[in-house]
Structure 1
Amino acid sequence: MTYTLSTTIALPWAEALELTRDALSAQGFGILTEINVRSTFEAKLGIEAADAVGEYIILGACNPALASRAIAAEPEIGALLPCNVVVRRSNTSDITTIEAIDPETMVRLSDAPAVKEVADDASSRLRKALATLSSTGLQGG
């Protein structure tokens, strides 16, 4: 089962992360949370675990208007929010992978028509953000 939308780009790590934030922002998503998995692994599990995961950031992206509509339609849907966007790269790669949860996953869990409308809109916006990243002309293979 596919549950993410993804792209890859061949840019320096910090630039790839910043461009991801910018692409999400251009589609109306703010970043509510940021989890640095590498730092957490290093602090809790040691440097070997951190090195094994490489650079790995989870961005909790939220479009407030879409989130409001989804929660109004089905309050339980908040358990699936915000939309997680992973920006990751292994220590041995020059390619950064950006993966977003596919909002259409919510549709499989809900019968509410309004949730489908929100998921369609969110999916379109996330696809546009990923396309923006891909169109840098520097995507990886």
Structure 2
Amino acid sequence: MSGTTAPALSTTLVVDFDEAVRRTRAALADQGFGILTEIDMTATLRAKLGYEMEDYLILGACNPPLAHRAVEIDRQIGLLLPCNVVVRRDPDDTGAVRVEAMNPDVMVQVTGEPALESVAAEAATRLRAAIDALRGDNS
């Protein structure tokens, strides 16, 4: 791979935050991703620091066949798994919710392992399809 890779795949929804989370989970599931972890940054920062921020949720998405292929190529790839997908209210436009997924092509750049290119390409295709499905739900 040459050049630089955009770090995120993203879209903006104009829906309620909970609806954006529901749609994101469904779009990811349609592409074979399960949610392994969930971090509610808003609640965590409120509880630990007393800091108030907009809705911000990190979903740790995993497609088991792709994860298996990746760890067979490079055991350290687990440092970059699962794929993080962020659902967050736009602090500058409270009616908008951003959905952002880490671009899996980044893992090829980070590791320098060309054998991961096909795994990253398939994961990116699936995540783009999920993001595109969200765009379709928004119209």
Q: Which aligned segments of 4 or more residues in structure 1 are displaced greater than 6 angstroms?
A: none
Q: CA RMSD in A?
A: 1.4
Which of 34, 42, 49 lines up with 2:46 in the alignment? 42
The residue aligned with 1:16 is: 20
TM superposition score normalised by structure 1: 0.90
**1:40 deviation in Å?**
0.2
Matches within 5 A, 1:1-141: 2-46=6-50, 49-50=51-52, 53-90=53-90, 93-138=94-139
Aligned mates of 1:137, 1:39 — CA distance in 2:
27
Paired AA for residue 136 in structure 1: D
TM-score by length of 2: 0.91
In 2, Cα distance between the equivalents of 1:108 and 1:45?
35
Displacement, 1:90?
A: 4.1
Contact between 2:37 and 2:59, CA under 8 Å: does it hold in 1? Answer: yes
Note the alpha carbon deviations across 1:79-115, whole angstroms, 9 max, x for none: 0000000000046511100000000001102343331
Which residue type is aligned with residue 127 of structure 1?
A: R
CA contact (8 A) 1:27 1:128 kept: yes
Count, aligned residues: 134
The answer on whether the counterparts of 1:69 and 1:114 sit within 8 Å (CA) in structure 2 is: no
Structure 1: 5+ residue runs without aligned partners?
Answer: none
Structure 2: tracts of 5 or more residues without a match: none
Counterpart of 2:73, as a letter, is A
Q: Which amino acid aligns with 1:96?
A: V
